[in-house]
Every structure is written in structure tokens, then in C-alpha cells.
Structure 1
Amino acid sequence: MANAFTDLLAQKGTLMADGATGTNLFNMGLMSGDAPEMWNTDEPKKIIALYKFAVDSGSDLFLTNSFGANASRLKLHGAEKRVHELSRVAAELGREVADRADRKVLVAGSVGPTGEIMEPVGPLTHALAVEMFHETADGLKAGGADIGWLETISAPEEYRAAAEGFALAGLDWCGTMSFDTAGRTMMGMTSEAMVEMVHGLDNAPMAYGANCGTGASDLLRTVLGFAAKNGQLPIIAKGNAGIPKYHEGHIHYDGTPELMGQYAVMARNCGASIIGGCCGTMPEHLVAMRAALDETPKGDAPTLEEIVEVLGPFSSASDGTDGEGPVRAPRRGRRR
């Protein structure tokens, strides 16, 4: 089905997404423990500046500041009744920035995990999860988002619930999972299992892929896993800007702009057609990624050895598709 996303992808062949939300907002003064979504109404100029970082750096789409805009997460801040409002305003601010750009730029409504564990492991029912995702998606659609953008999901059950929520809202969507446990998500999903899942959904995403995780090398190995399944949907790669380091009370990512430019080109060669950055990715990284994608012809898929040589070692010997690797207990962190 044609929409703004598929039209722009068909026109350009490769789309560059944006960088980090949390990293940039922390640099603007957001305090640890605060809800970034509250800034949509409290600090709208800063959210507009965040969006402009991506547009001015060459991104073809950017994500809205609505990652944690669901009833479960906002309840921690006494704002569970403001889900629709904060989602809508996040998209409205994005629409304002995109419509002023000198080229076509898409507003992707960010939707993160609920922060709860779904049945049968945890207490969150499928029906309630669908309701939460629907409320967020409906707010994003009301605010003018071109597409919804599910990200940092670990559980297949939650991914499926989000697909239903987007369907109820009538909002086309893309969706990524985070593979950070020996090539698997924290709930044990492998890259090949994700391909099978997304292609079997009644309301399939416009594109699927991986974001966040442990580092650019691991993420590209996951993208190679997606591509090996020869699915019919476009693949997304949104890797972190290197590895996080704790320094003087703050988390810093060690990926240089040059490294992220190399990552972007390798991600395209691995089979991704929507490429961006996640945690730690700043405007200077995006500028380098844009230049690298524009100036470097597409090449052959890299070998695992070539990925390691350029981007550094993998965090585990296995990518999870061979049945090896642990499955650790889930956590409830917020992406940075």
C-alpha cells in the first residue's frame, strides 16, 4: 500500500533516519529520571530544536519525542491521563519542523515498549497492551505523524500487540527490536524468528529491523541475519554510536563521526535501506553518515571479519541463530 514512507523510499532507494533522542535531550538539560515526553508541552522550543538537528543534518525522517508516551510509563510521573495529548503534541511539533524543510522529510511517531512484562511471564494482558499502543498511536496520528515507529522491543508478544494498536488507529508503521543478548532480544527472539513474525502479521509493518543493542558490529550481524531470510519488507538499521562508557557521572558513546559514516555504508551493503543512529548519535554523526551514503556507491555485503575490522569486535561469538547464547532476564531501561 502506497504512503508517504513507501513513496519516498521508492524515490530515493535509501532513507537516512535520525539519531539519539535521549542523548541530545540530556545535553539540553533533561535530568535523569525525568520524563522526556513532558518537554513536548513544557519545553517545546527544545523539542523543535531536537527535530531540527536531524533535518539540518540530512535525515529523511525523524522520530518524535514520544518513546515513553504510554499509560504504564507516564503513570510513574502522574501523567497517565496525558498519553494522547503528549503523543499528539510530539507529532504536531514534528509536523511543524518537517513542513518547513526545503525537501520532503517524514515525521515518524516513536512508540517504545510499555515497560511491563506480558503474559504469561508477567501481568500485562494482550488486550491492555493493545489498548496502550492504540492510545499512543491515535495521538500520533492526530498530531500529523506520517507513520508510526515502534522501537526497542524485546518481546514478540509486545510487537504483535503494537501491530494491533496501529491497526486500530489506522496508522501505517515500521517496527524494530533490540538484539542485545548474544544476538537475541532480551526475551530470546532471534533475527530469523523476527523475519518470520513480521511477515506473518495481519497488519505487517512497512519496514522492520533492529535498533539500539550493544554496538554497531552486533547490529550489522543482525541485519545480515535479516537479509539472509530473503523477506519482502525493507530492513531498518539504527545502531548506537559505539559502546557506552561511564565517565565522570555521565554515559558517553565512543563512536566517532567517521566510524558512524563507515557503519552507515556497511549497513546499506548488509541489506538495510533505512539507516540511522540510536543511543549516542549526535548531529555530527548524522552529517558524516549523510555524506558517506551520498558519496559511496553501494557495494557487496561485508563478511563478519570485515565488520569486525572496521567497527570492532562482536560482544558474543554467536548471533543467536545457531541455538547458542544465553537468554537473560528482562530490564526496563529507557533508550538514550
Structure 2
Amino acid sequence: MKPDLRTALTLRPMVGDGAMATYLYQLGLPVGVSFEEFNLLKPDVIADVHRRYAAAGAEVIETNTYSAQYHKLSKYGLEKKTEKINAAGVTIARKAVGDTAYVVGSIGAVRGGKGKNVRTATVKRDFEEQIGALLGAGVDGLLLETFFDLEELSLALSVIRKKSDISVICQFAVEDAHRTSDGTPLPEAFRRLKGEGADIIGFNCRSGPNGILRAVESIPRDIGVPLSVFPNAGIPDYVDGQVVYSATPEYFASSAIRFADAGARLIGGCCGTTPEHIAAIAGALKTYSPQTGGAIATATPVAVEIAADPTVIAEPPVTGEPSIVDLVRERHTVIVELDPPRDLDITKFMAGAQALKEAKADALTMADNSLAVTRMSNMALAALLKERVGIRPLAHIACRDRNLIGTQTHMMGFDALGIDHVLAVTGDPAKFGDLPGSSSVYDLTSFEIIRMIKQLNEGVAFSGKPLKQKAKFIVGAAFNPNVKHLDKAVQRLERKIAAGADYVMTQPVYDPELIVRIADMTKHLSIPIFLGIFPLASGRNAEYLHNEVPGIQLSDEVRSRMAGLEGTAGRAEGVKIAEELLDVAMTHFNGIYLMTPFMAYEMTVSLTKYVRSRSAQLTSSN
């Protein structure tokens, strides 16, 4: 007879299951519906997912009840079926896996995102109803997952403890590796939950293995509570209308060992993970022995054809300043990316901008809430750069956050401020950022936003109406060459050029041979390319970028050179590798796009100076 779940979790690292909702999406089921209702409508589909995870090696199976609460089900008119949906979730899982795995009832936060203003009394009522249904159906334990705030998690735990002594797993979703979303230091939160009766505490969602490992490492071992980890399969990307994840099963296998060494006793997966990821975890843990000293879219809009109109359209003001495109056709030109701050302090950002100007960077580029994480407006910072630093700003424009109205308004504001260099990007899905309750708009694709911005240069609004004056935007297109079929990526880039792109900025490249291939396969293009170089800050940073961030692939040689390096040594080797890549890139491309890691602008200042020095050498040798 197997031990109860509480005992089993203290004996050895156990394997949890993977994602339900994102896996159903991968299997072709629609979004925008209640996946929990499938317990009633498609029980065979849910049972099949459970069986696949169990066959992959999962020892703990979660019920398909994460959002099966009155408040959340009411969105779909299902609130009166709350108890029935939860009970069915337990029955389906139990029949699917039998005694081969423990069945735990999945319970998500009622608050969070758009639900933050739900009254405490309502939250408590919803927890009582769901918990009662899951306990009545005979679960082996309860899993409180993806909670942002300590108080709500504590409330749910208290409801359970008033009803039962069943095993309880508590999991936070955190952006900061040191505190919960309500500002509570993680060690303090863990100690409190342990005192209130949690059997195992950990993290899930919001981050891939790298981010969750950082959070795990902030928990002192002396707290004395087993840890659980269910990371996402890296950062999601939005490709051709599909959400895809980049972290491989092999990466999850190696991460599982690191988690186990850090004290994790339940290791599974969250968004983007599949039975293949769980099989990799199970395989890695099968022969595990602790390491000595281990520490812990909507309809697609089309640009309006420009009709003849008698209204006089004035030409834009002439500044006489050469554009980035003008400069790069004459000499090596450097664009440096500097991330807008996530808080209200711009001191370090402005210091970095000043240092980069003094290093003779040609432009500073700022993302538009990259990775769907809220940052300061790049429009405001662009205006400050022009006014206080006197360097050209280049702002990214994401399709994610603004509808057609908002996008045109945004562009009109840029024009009024004299900010005329932009980069059009799709933008990472909002549900995976720090405000998961927000919506991803995607009224426009990256192709359409390029075409419609260029339409403003004709003095014509998105609606087709005249604007009395022409804008003068220089529009960039993003290009990811880190793909299996580079020829198809180039064809996609050709479509962006046909839409009106004036220049190209690539994702970072870490392979000299790939740089040469890119040059060869794009030599027929009519617009300049700025090749991306992202200096690595540490070995862990290298593995995170390679395994979790969409569009970035490191060569085996680079990963080997960075392995184990941290701090000053890591940054020094990262700069050295970047210089070697620049030696190759500068013989093929005049455009260089440097990205600053973790606001360590000293690294990109050094590389900017290197480009200037190397450019002088190449010029004199010719």
C-alpha cells in the first residue's frame, strides 16, 4: 500500500504533471472557452490528457479544475454547475490513472488580473464551495496554484484546514525572485504558510525554469518545508497566430536535477509543457542522487487604399539630420537597446543613455513592454532622450497593447514629438506578462502595422482620411534568423520589406557561421540590416536565453565558454564573445544592434567603443 501524499512528498523528489489548458490548445481545442466545462462536455479528452501525463511518468495528477469557481465560471454562465464540474474533474482523473498516481484537486486564485476587486467574502465563499466539492469527490490532496498574493493564499489554506487535514500544496506565481506580488518577502511568506498548515510550498507559472530556480534559491533551507516547482516551458512567442514555447524537454531534464538539488520534492510543469517535458523530468529523476552541498486574434484589418483627395497635404518639416538608413549606407552605425525601467526611477536609464552617447552610439532603442512586462512608456523616455541627452531615440511599437485607434493616436504623438524612428513588432502575449488579466489586442500584424505607419507618411490616416500633413517615419522590421529554415525566415522578411520596411533589426546571433549565412542569404535585399549582438552576463544567463527566450539560440561553443561563470568573470567573457562576433559581423554588415543585459550599460558602452575602434581599423586597411 502506497503512503499518503504528505508522507510520499518527504521521501524523494516526485514527478508532477504538466499543463492542461495550453496542452489542450496545442491539441486543437479553441481558446476563449471554459476548459473546465470539458469535464462535462468532453470527459474523454480530459481523461486522455491525464493518461498521457501518467504514462510519461507523472506521479501526481492535477484535476482539470483550476478555474472551476463560481466567480470565474459565471463568465461562461456555468456558475450553477460549480460543484458538478469539480466533482467530475476528480472522477475523470481517478478513472484515468487509477492507483498509479496521486490525484490532487487544482484550485486557482479567485483574485488576480481583472478579479482583483472581488470582495473577500465572495472569495471565501467560492473557495468553500470548490474545496467542499473536491474533498467530497475523494482527492488525495489539494493544490493551491498560481496565487499572486499571500493573503488570498492564506485564506484558501484556512478554508481547507477548517474542513480537513488533507495534504496541501501551496504555490506562488512571482515576477520578483525575492517577494510575492503584494511585497511580502518570500521567506516570510513560506514561514507563515508552514505555520498555517501547508505541507509543501513552491512556485508555478509566470517564469520558466531559470526564473523559478532563482526564487527557490531565495528560500532558506532552515524553513524546513518541502518545495514544489512547476515552471512554464520558457517565455511564449506569438508566431503566425499561434502561441509557442521554446524550452525543450532536454532543458527540463537538466533543470529537474538543479531543482532537486535545491530542495524541490515535487517537480512538474506549467504553461507550455507537454507529456514529453514530463517524461524528460521523470527520466532525469529516475536515477537521481543528491549532490553534495547542493543548495537549494480578431479579424485581420487591411490598410486602406489611398484615394485621391483634393485636400492639400503638407510635406513634413525638413531637419537636415541624416536618418539611420542614411548613416548605415555610409559607415558602421550602432543602435543600442536600453530597457525602460519597471519602476518610476529613471536615474540609471538616463546615466546609461549619457554614457552611450559619449561612446558615440548613433541611436538608443527602447522596447514596448517586452515580454509583456509593464515598463515606463518608451514615448516619454524617447522625448527625454532628445531633450536631455541629445541622442536619437528609436521606439518599438508592439501590436499587442493598442487597437487601431490607439495605434494611430500613438504614432501621431510620436510625430508631434519629432520621434521619427520606430521598430514594428508583434509583441509577446499579455497573458504571460506581469498583468495576466489584461488583453492582447493584435488588431494588426507586424506586416500591417508597417504598411499603415508608412501610410501616415503619405498624410493619410488609417481610416483613409487626410491628415493635412505627411509624417516622416523611418520604420524598422524585426528579423529572427535563429530558425531551422532560414530561407523561409528571409521570405517572411521580404514581405515586411514589401509592406514598406526601411531597415531590419535582427534577434541576437551567437554563431559566426550563421552571421555569414545571413549575409549571403540577404545580400539581395534592398534595405540595410542591423545585426543583433547581445553580450551574455553569466552562465546562467546564457542557459536562460538559449532555453527559455523565443528567438534566441546559442552555439554549443558559446554555452561551453560561459558555463559556470558569474559576476565580473561572466560579464568579461560575455563581452569578449561579443567582440569576436563583431569582428565577423562588421565585415558583412554596416549595421550593428547591441542589446544591454540587466541595465549593465557598461558592457554596451565597451562594445560601442570597440565598434568605433574596429571600424577605423577596417577603414584604414581598405
TM value normalised by structure 1: 0.84
Q: 1:164 aligns with which of 158, 167, 178?
A: 158
Q: 2:207 aligns with which of 214, 218, 224?
A: 214
Opposite residue 158 of structure 1, the aligned amino acid is: E
Q: 1:131 aligns with which of 97, 104, 125?
A: 125
1:282 Cα deviation after fit: 0.6
Task: Identify if the C-alpha distance between structure 1 residues 189 and 305 changes in structure 2 by more than 3 Å, giving closer, same or farther.
Answer: farther
1:182 Cα deviation after fit: 5.9
Which residue of the partner structure matches residue 259 of structure 2? 267
Query: Any gaps of 5 or more consecutive residues in structure 1?
Result: 316-324, 326-336
Flag the structure with larger Rg: 2
User: What is the CA–CA distance in structure 2 between the aligned matches of 1:7 and 1:97, rounded to whole Å?
Assistant: 23
Q: 1:249 aligns with which of 234, 238, 241?
A: 241
1:185 Cα deviation after fit: 3.6
Which residue of the partner structure matches residue 20 of structure 2? 21
Task: Identify if the C-alpha distance between structure 1 residues 3 and 156 changes in structure 2 by more than 3 Å, giving closer, same or farther.
Answer: farther
Query: Any gaps of 5 or more consecutive residues in structure 2?
Result: 297-536, 550-597, 599-622
Task: Render the CA deviation track for 1:198-256: whole Å, top value 9, x for unaligned.
Answer: 1232xx11101000122211100111112x25212211011111221111112111001
Opposite residue 72 of structure 1, the aligned amino acid is: H
* 8 Å contact kept, 1:57–1:283: yes
Q: 1:188 aligns with which of 159, 173, 183?
A: 183
| Greater relative contact order (CA < 8 Å, ≥ 6 in sequence) | 1
Opposite residue 278 of structure 2, the aligned amino acid is: L
Task: Identify if the C-alpha distance between structure 1 residues 306 and 237 changes in structure 2 by more than 3 Å, giving closer, same or farther.
Answer: farther
* 8 Å contact kept, 2:148–2:172: yes
Which residue of the partner structure matches residue 57 of structure 1? 56
Secondary structure of the 1:273 match is strand
Which residue of the partner structure matches residue 106 of structure 2? 110
Which residue of the partner structure matches residue 233 of structure 1? 225
Q: 2:289 aligns with which of 269, 289, 297?
A: 297
1:150 Cα deviation after fit: 0.4
* 8 Å contact kept, 2:36–2:68: yes
Which residue of the partner structure matches residue 74 of structure 2? 75
User: What is the CA–CA distance in structure 1 between the aligned matches of 2:57 and 2:116, rounded to whole Å?
Assistant: 41
User: What is the CA–CA distance in structure 2 between the aligned matches of 1:18 and 1:172, rounded to whole Å?
Assistant: 17
* 8 Å contact kept, 1:16–1:59: yes
1:127 Cα deviation after fit: 3.1
**Pair 1:288 & 2:280 matched:** yes
Q: Which moved more, 1:174-183 or 1:46-55?
A: 174-183
Count of aligned pairs: 307
1:162 Cα deviation after fit: 0.5
User: What is the CA–CA distance in structure 1 between the aligned matches of 2:184 and 2:17, rounded to whole Å?
Assistant: 25
Task: Identify if the C-alpha distance between structure 1 residues 269 and 182 changes in structure 2 by more than 3 Å, giving closer, same or farther.
Answer: closer
1:306 Cα deviation after fit: 5.6
User: What is the CA–CA distance in structure 1 between the aligned matches of 2:51 and 2:261, rounded to whole Å?
Assistant: 28
User: What is the CA–CA distance in structure 2 between the aligned matches of 1:17 and 1:219, rounded to whole Å?
Assistant: 16
Which residue of the partner structure matches residue 338 of structure 2? none
Which residue of the partner structure matches residue 408 of structure 2? none
* 8 Å contact kept, 1:113–1:153: yes
Q: 2:216 aligns with which of 216, 223, 227?
A: 223
Task: Render the CA deviation track for 1:114-168: whole Å, top value 9, x for unaligned.
Answer: 14579xx954333332221111111111222110100000011110110122124
Opposite residue 277 of structure 1, the aligned amino acid is: G
* 8 Å contact kept, 1:112–1:150: yes
What percentage of aligned pairs have identical amino acids?
25
Secondary structure of the 1:205 match is coil
User: What is the CA–CA distance in structure 2 between the aligned matches of 1:122 and 1:24, rounded to whole Å?
Assistant: 27
1:305 Cα deviation after fit: 5.5
Which residue of the partner structure matches residue 155 of structure 1? 149
Task: Render the CA deviation track for 1:51-105: whole Å, top value 9, x for unaligned.
Answer: 1121000011011100001111101001111111111110111111231x5x4x1
User: What is the CA–CA distance in structure 2 between the aligned matches of 1:72 and 1:219, rounded to whole Å?
Assistant: 29
1:31 Cα deviation after fit: 1.4
